[in-house]
Amino acid sequence: MTSRYASSFCFLVVLSLASAEDIDGGFTLELIHRDSPKSPFYDPLETPSQRVGRAVSRSIARLAGGLRSNAPGDPYADINGNQGEYLIKIMIGTPPVDIMGSADTGSDLIWTQCKPCRSCFKQDVPMFDPSKSRTYVVVSYDSPKCKVFDNTSRSSQGLCEYHASYEDQSYSNGNIATDIISLGSTSGSSIRFSEMVFGCGYDNGGAFNTHTSGVVGLGGSDASLISQIGRRYGRIFSYCLVPFFLRSSSKINFGSTAHVAGRGTVSTPLIRRSQETFYYLTLEGISINGKKFTTSGSSHGTGEGNIIIDSGTTLTSLPHDLYKQVEPAISAAIHLPKVKDPSGSLNLCYQSSGDFKAAPNITVHFTGADVELNWYNAFVKVTEGIACLTFVPSSCDEVTYGNLAQMNFLIGYDIDGGKLSFKPADCTRR
């Protein structure tokens, strides 16, 4: 799930500790694709084409939601809880209680439903009861810890209350608190982080599903899991997304294991804005079979930071001026019968069987980094015999580099170093 889009999401993943290594330098977690048999969302009755079609539909709806502009004090976690892009399994408290949260690179606050709940959505795992945790501490409004999330208020008891609202009318309200958060392992080991700030939600509702009990924010501001564990490991992480049509698990790395370097690595500046949640890059253009097409600017009035990279969005949305150049160039390079997308969501589709080898050479140009795409980064088989372009024109102010374009790249976020790196990789072997 992602904070800023009013929609459902496309690739759901569960994170668990992949090994008992550390841990002093870094650690790696396993990512399980939303449609993997290991995923709680897996439906064995769905065909591969049906799964792709649902993913595209969710992504189209999400991109239509757009970025939310927030004045100081307004909630900015506009998360649609209907179907989170990733699930992360964490544990909170002493003794630890399993929490299944929607992992989101586009939001920050970690929160879970808590007892006694005034109004909560149904969840599959037991609800966290703060009265049974020996290390749970509620935060006062005057505490600096209260200020890590933008939208808080003082309760009648002087406690710090948070308020998260979502464009799909989902919401969460509760107390800001601290407790031990652990990342667990199937081998029995765990990594413990003390005094982690999170939200204990007593009033939650909307489109959240039963497989989740809250949200784990992986964005760039102080409230996120990335920033909080960054005090120990540094604010650096990387992931390698396995193509969705394969059954292997993906990986996300933290700390020293997250560095991306070596042959083939290219890097581009991470652009920081007042809205620290999001990871902005500068898109300069796209080449089709060696011919480069450029974008004239962005919604911010300058070309710098004109696109968000987001692991939670399936499709890539482009500025209108760039898309109007790219689509005809791709169309001219492919000599196959054109057909309509059965869902009506995607613009450029072809009859094709097997791998879509008819795709032209496509290179995405970021500042200082030219990223050469594979065919499956730019085209997706929406049904048997039909492949469609996964680039769409932006329907809102912001444009997004989606996760189909990121598959089989090791992508590293060095937040403190101010750069994002791409390295071509076989993610099934990482």
Q: What is the rounded CA–CA span in Å between residue 412 and residue 270?
A: 11
* DSSP type of residue 271: B
Catalytic hit among 108, 168, 310, 414: 310
Helix/strand/coil percent split, the chain, to 5:
15, 35, 50
Is 3:76 a contact under the CB 8 Å cutoff?
Answer: yes
Spell out where 206-351 has E strands: 214-217, 236-240, 250-255, 266-269, 280-281, 283-288, 291-294, 307-309, 316-318, 338-339, 349-351
Host H or E run for residue 57: helix 48-65
Catalytic hit among 104, 108, 150, 222: 104
The encoded tokens of residue 151 equal: 């939208």
Q: What is the rounded CA–CA span in Å between residue 89 and residue 407?
A: 23
> Is residue 22 among the annotated active site residues?
no
> Is residue 35 among the annotated active site residues?
no
Q: What is the rounded CA–CA span in Å between residue 412 and residue 393?
A: 26
Cα of first residue to Cα of last residue in the chain, in angstroms, is: 24
Is 125:109 a contact under the CB 8 Å cutoff?
Answer: no
Q: How many CB atoms lie within 10 A of CB 12?
A: 28
Measured between alpha carbons, how far is residue 113 from residues 20, 102, 310, 330, 412 in Å?
28, 12, 26, 47, 31
Contacts of 157 (CB under 8 A, 6+ apart): none
Q: Cis (ω within 30 of 0) for the bond into 96?
A: no
**DSSP-assigned letters across all residues of 73-100:** TS-------SS-SEEEEEEETTTTEEEE
The encoded tokens of residue 343 equal: 């869902």
The encoded tokens of residue 296 equal: 């004239």
**What is the edge-to-edge ordering of all strands in the sheet holding 283-288?**
291-294, 283-288, 362-366, 369-372
Cite the active site residues.
104, 310
